[in-house]
Amino acid sequence: MSPEKEFLYGSATGIGSMPHQEISAALQLIKENLLCGPHWPQLPRLGGEEGFARQYLAPLIKLKIMGLKKGEALFFYDMEEDWPEREQAFYELYLEAQEGAENEERVIELFAFPRNGARGFYSFLEEDWSSQIVKPLFIKGQVSGPLSLGLQVTSGDGKASFYHNNLRDILVKSLALQARFQIRALKKFSLPVVIFLDEPALLSFGQSAYASLSAEDISASLEEIILAIREEGGIAGVHCCSGVDWSVLFNLPFDIVNFDAYAYFDSLLVYAEEADSFLKRGGVLAWGLVPTSGTAVESEEIATLQEKFFHGIERLSKRGVAAELLRKQYMITPSCGTATLSEAQAEKVYRLTSGLRNALEKQKPFG
C-alpha cells in the first residue's frame, strides 16, 4: 500500500446493511458515528429490490440475461433457444465500453442501480459529506461477491451458476461494471472511495458439499473485480463474516481484508504467515470486533471490545505476525451488517464501533 493510503489506519466504517425503513434515520446514524468512513446504507426491509442479490443484478434482469422466479430466486436464461444471441449482446455491450470514454460512460450507466433498488445509495449521494463538521477520510461502497452470487443464482438447469465458466464470467464482468459505476458516483465528494466485496459464501470453499469449487476460479473472479476497482482509482476491500480459508484473500491484491474478529478470530490464527505477509505489503486488517448478533451486542461495551482487540494482537504476534504492524494497520468495523437487528440494537452497534475506534486512537495502539 502506498503512503497516501495510510489515512485508513485506525479508521472505522460499517459493512452495509441496516434495519431501517426510514432512510433519513439510517443516514443520521451513520453521520453520528462513522463520519471518518461513511458508507451508503443497504436497506433490505424496504423491499426485495434492495436485497443482497437483486440490488446488484438488476441490470442483467433488464437485459434479459437473468430472470426472477416466484419467491425471488434469480436464474440465467441459458437454456432458452436464443441464449447465444443474448450472451453475444452482453459481450458486445461489454466490449463497447472498451472503445472510448463516451461509450464506456454509457455502458457503465446501464449498470447503475435502479432508483427503486438502492434508495439508500441515492439518498447518500444527496448528502454533502465533504462539508460535515468532521471531514470524512474516505467514502465506502459495497458490492456482493461473485462467489456468493454465483452460488445463489442458478443456471437454467437449476445448478449454481458459478460452476459454469460462461455464466460466472458474465457475473464477474457485471459486478466489475457495478463497482466502476459506484466509484464514479461516489467520487463527487472528492474523497477516496473504498469498495468492499461482500463474500460470505467463501465459507463454502473446502467443504465436502462444494468439493468442485476451485481456489483458482474464486481468485480469478475476485481479482478481475479488484483490478476494475483499482483502474477507477478506488481502494479494494473484502468482507467475510465467518471462518474461511483466509489464504485465498491474503494472496490477492486487496488493500483491506475484513474479518469477524468477534466470533471467528481463531480462524485467522491458522493463516498467521499469510496475514503477516499481507501486512508487510501495506495491507489493512479490518477487525469486525463489534458483534451483530442481538444477544452479544447487548452484553458488550467498549472496554470489553478493547480488551479483545489487544488480546487478539497478542495471540497473532505469538504466531509470528508483526505486532507493530497489527497495532498500526487496522480498521474497526461491525462483524457483519445490521439488517437482522432491531433499530435500537443497530444503534448500539454503531455507537460501539465509533467508541472503540476513538478509544483505540486515544491509546495510540499504532504508536
Q: Provide the pLDDT for residue 359.
A: 96
Q: Provide the pLDDT for residue 365.
A: 55
CATH top-level class for 3-47+116-363? Answer: alpha beta
Query: 142 or 211: which carries more pLDDT confidence?
Result: 142
Q: Provide the pLDDT for residue 212.
A: 86
Q: Provide the pLDDT for residue 98.
A: 76
Interhelix angle 165-186/215-231, nearest 10 degrees: 30
Q: Provide the pLDDT for residue 90.
A: 95
36-91 pLDDT tens trace: 999 999 999 998 889 888 899 999 999 999 998 876 789 999 999 999 999 999 99
Reported confidence tier of residue 18, pLDDT bands at 50, 70, 90: very high
350-360 pLDDT tens trace: 999 999 999 99
Alpha-carbon distance of 186 to 180, in angstroms, equals: 10
326-358 pLDDT tens trace: 999 999 999 999 999 999 999 999 999 999 999
Summary mean pLDDT of the chain: 93
Taking the whole predicted model, whether its pTM rises above 0.85 is answered as yes
Q: Where do the structural domains in the chain lie, given as residue ranges? A: 3-47+116-363
Q: How confident is the model over 246-273, as a mean pLDDT?
A: 96
Q: Provide the pLDDT for residue 363.
A: 81
